[in-house]
Structure 1
Amino acid sequence: MTITARLLTGAAMLAALGATAAAADTLADLEAAAKKEGMLTVIALPHDWCNYGAVIEGFKKKYPEIQVNELNPNAGSGDEIEAIKANKGNTGPQAPDVIDVGLSFGPAAKAEGLLQPYKVATWDEIPDSVKDPEGYWYGDYYGVLAMGVNKDIVAEAPTSFADLTDAKYANAVAMPGDPRTGNSSMMTVYAAGLATDGKLAGADALNAGIAWFKALKDSSNLVPVNGSAQNLAQGTTPIYFDWDYNLLAMRDKLDGNPPVEVVIPSDSVIAGVYVQAISAFAPHPNAAKLWMEYLYSDEGQIGWLSGYCHPIRFNAMAAAGKLPADLMAKLPPAEAYSKAVFPSLDEQGAAKKATADNWAAQMGVN
């Protein structure tokens, strides 16, 4: 019999929901089936992104019988989707079992038949607005776009997108990657568009953002190099955009060498939700489901919070008094997030199409 399992609240039984993987009647059965598979293949999980290094170690410590095979930690959301497509008939180590992608990539992958449904035990605590009702994809964490600033090189940190157009930031500003393949970069362009006109949305916001970045490139303020912790520390990209949790973790890791300031732009606060999903062709479907159960458990959610990510069960866990006070004290003040805009799924889908259609032509890149 084939099922998709969901642990019932307060019970160990898993509900039969009609998926394509092997049966598991209890959590213990799921654990046994996953251990028999002996491997989990993940992709695009840098250890310094959202504390994934510690999260992976936590899973390995809990299930030492399962080898975690890590593919291309620096891949973008588009790369993850392509990895599923390229390995449909491959049961070897190059076929990802699970993906962690930007919100707009979840529905698109479902529509292409690339995902299989699964609902975790804590399903009811995931907001309906960020999950597929059938369980093909669901939100895992979110953050807001921010600027990381090397204070050794940039003495006066910018506070907004508008500030970045000043000539004093020549050859200083970067994005983490190509917006056609990376969700954080695409949403950076989107945020720039909103900074020019807060009433814009979808493709209009994205296209306005492309125009803004083209002007930044023409003024020589935009650096044609991907922003990273190494490039920021070396001064190649002394200002670069990324999710707040990545930049805060980078700040801590650099530990003052150089000093880094993390700034949430005052004129455009864009929140981004990432989602988890299981490949329809996962070679290790039970290990994939067990990984999901771990990520959405209290332990997994607090693991993400330790990396400055807001876990998707944040509100439910806060109401239940499950969030450690010491972790909460390390996050930016709540008022920094008060103007956050969460682009809808339709708006992100339209932005994704506009990026594919217009970025290369406007920016003069391949």
Structure 2
Amino acid sequence: MTSTINRLVGASVSALLATTSIVSAQSMDELIEGARAEGMLTTIALPHDWCGYGAVIQGFKEKYPFLTINELNPDAGSADELEAIRANRNNTGPQAPDVIDVGFAFGPAAKEEGLIQPYKVSTWDTIPDAAKDAEGYWYGDYYGVLAFAVNTDLVDEIPQDWEDLLKPEYANSVALAGDPRASNQAILAVQAAGLARGAEAGEAAGQAGLEFFAELNQAGNFVPVIGKAGTLAQGATPIVIQWDYNALSSRDTLAGNPPVEVVVPASGVVAGVYVQAISAYAPHPNAAKLWMEYLYSDEGQLGWLAGYCHPIRFNDLAQRGVIPNDLMEALPPAEAYEAAVFPTLDEQEATKAVITGGWDQVVGANVQ
């Protein structure tokens, strides 16, 4: 898996990175005392059912009870998070986020715009080089792969790969977890379908993915509804293509009513990485750094894994044998992730342009 992750960031990202001094982690005593004086940490866009964030936040509260956690807009997207920093540059009040958790492409963009500040956690060396900014401005936190969440009350034969979705038994059954004209998750799902057909990542995969979904739509199998746990359970979207951690969380939330099976497809396995960063204008910079130290500790990383997200330090945790067996057993088989592809920024941008620009013309389904 390490070699796969190391392909995550291509030359396009390297070109964005200028050389500056290395930022080292402060001592924990200094951070704790500084955070104690600040008294608060402001987060944004952290829904409690995403990656186990509810338990992670609670764990942080219990470890540092002197901090009040101010949670802004749990349902915000990555673009909203950056806008919150921009809008509060000169505001040290409760609407100014200290930390952000954003999609991969947003890390370099935020650095280039001067919206984030560098900080290297004490476990920095165990984060794969290709999944972090060399200067410490942003750093991968967790990743997942696109999978099929299947309502087995309604679907008898469980699809195992993308081409299976074209079969007539899946009429009016298959949905994306977002609008591919706007949602990164949905865009990457379309690209995954293209990769499964042998196309190269980037424009070619985007075009092949559009053609796949055009066939799916023409076959009457595609449902132009944004799939989620509710639509999966109600039968409006018996098969939802979404991040594995969201699919597994939905399975748990539904608790067998209906039963849900989560399948990582046999081909076209696309992984998506999210990244952490500290606002350049953070009102509580010590609390922000303490939060990062917690997230990148073994405890924080295992908290994400309990929420079905593969933490970025997964390889280090596995090699040291600190991952509990019950956490591993709750995930799809490890071999399902071995062929995972981590698209580079250039590839993601090329794919996005093809899919957002061509969806209406090629597929013609108004997802909402």
TM-score range, shorter chain: 0.7 to 0.9
1:239 alignment partner AA = I
- Asked if 1:231 corresponds to 2:231, the answer is yes
- 1:225/1:111 CA distance change after superposition, 3 Å: same
- 1:234/1:207 CA distance change after superposition, 3 Å: same
Residue in 2 that maps onto 1:185: 186
Decide whether the 8 Å contact of 1:41 with 1:95 is kept in 2.
yes
Give the deviation of 1:220 after TM superposition.
3.7
Give the deviation of 1:33 after TM superposition.
1.8
Residue in 1 that maps onto 2:75: 74
Distance 1:353 1:113 in 2: 25
Distance 1:53 1:255 in 2: 18
- Asked if 1:164 corresponds to 2:165, the answer is yes
Query: What pairs up with 1:285-364 in 2 under 5 angstroms?
Result: 285-359=285-359, 363=364
1:269 alignment partner AA = V
- 1:80/1:256 CA distance change after superposition, 3 Å: same
- 1:143/1:236 CA distance change after superposition, 3 Å: same
Give the deviation of 1:355 after TM superposition.
4.4
Distance 2:75 2:159 in 1: 27
Residue in 1 that maps onto 2:274: 274
Give the deviation of 1:173 after TM superposition.
1.6
2:179 alignment partner AA = D
Distance 1:352 1:286 in 2: 37
Decide whether the 8 Å contact of 2:142 with 2:273 is kept in 1.
yes
Residue in 2 that maps onto 1:149: 150
Runs of 5+ in structure 1 lacking a partner? 1-15
- 1:361/1:69 CA distance change after superposition, 3 Å: farther
Decide whether the 8 Å contact of 1:24 with 1:30 is kept in 2.
no
Decide whether the 8 Å contact of 2:199 with 2:208 is kept in 1.
no
- 1:36/1:218 CA distance change after superposition, 3 Å: farther
Decide whether the 8 Å contact of 1:76 with 1:182 is kept in 2.
no
- Asked if 1:115 corresponds to 2:109, the answer is no
Decide whether the 8 Å contact of 2:224 with 2:366 is kept in 1.
no
Distance 2:48 2:59 in 1: 12
Decide whether the 8 Å contact of 2:25 with 2:120 is kept in 1.
no
Question: How many matched pairs?
Answer: 347
1:350 alignment partner AA = A
- 1:231/1:365 CA distance change after superposition, 3 Å: closer
- 1:359/1:293 CA distance change after superposition, 3 Å: farther
Give the deviation of 1:361 after TM superposition.
5.9
Residue in 2 that maps onto 1:242: 242
Residue in 1 that maps onto 2:140: 139
Distance 1:180 1:62 in 2: 42
CA RMSD of aligned residues (A): 2.5
Runs of 5+ in structure 2 lacking a partner? 1-19
- 1:36/1:17 CA distance change after superposition, 3 Å: farther
SS where residue 185 of structure 2 aligns?
helix
Give the deviation of 1:360 after TM superposition.
5.6
Give the deviation of 1:29 after TM superposition.
1.9
1:35 alignment partner AA = R
SS where residue 147 of structure 1 aligns?
strand
Distance 2:190 2:56 in 1: 30
2:228 alignment partner AA = S
Distance 2:77 2:359 in 1: 17
Q: TM-score with structure 2 length normalisation?
A: 0.86
Residue in 2 that maps onto 1:37: 38
1:264 alignment partner AA = V
Decide whether the 8 Å contact of 2:181 with 2:357 is kept in 1.
no
1:153 alignment partner AA = L
Decide whether the 8 Å contact of 1:117 with 1:278 is kept in 2.
yes
Bigger shift: 352-361 or 54-63? 352-361
2:67 alignment partner AA = I
- 1:80/1:223 CA distance change after superposition, 3 Å: farther
- 1:277/1:325 CA distance change after superposition, 3 Å: same
Q: TM-score with structure 1 length normalisation?
A: 0.86
Decide whether the 8 Å contact of 1:84 with 1:279 is kept in 2.
yes
2:169 alignment partner AA = K
Decide whether the 8 Å contact of 1:148 with 1:241 is kept in 2.
yes
Distance 2:91 2:167 in 1: 51
Distance 2:183 2:354 in 1: 14
1:331 alignment partner AA = L
- 1:204/1:18 CA distance change after superposition, 3 Å: same
2:274 alignment partner AA = Y
- Residues 42-84 of structure 1 show CA distances to partners (whole Å, capped at 9, x for unaligned) of 2222212211110011011111222222223233323323333
- 1:158/1:66 CA distance change after superposition, 3 Å: same
Distance 2:85 2:332 in 1: 36
- Asked if 1:48 corresponds to 2:55, the answer is no
Residue in 1 that maps onto 2:11: none
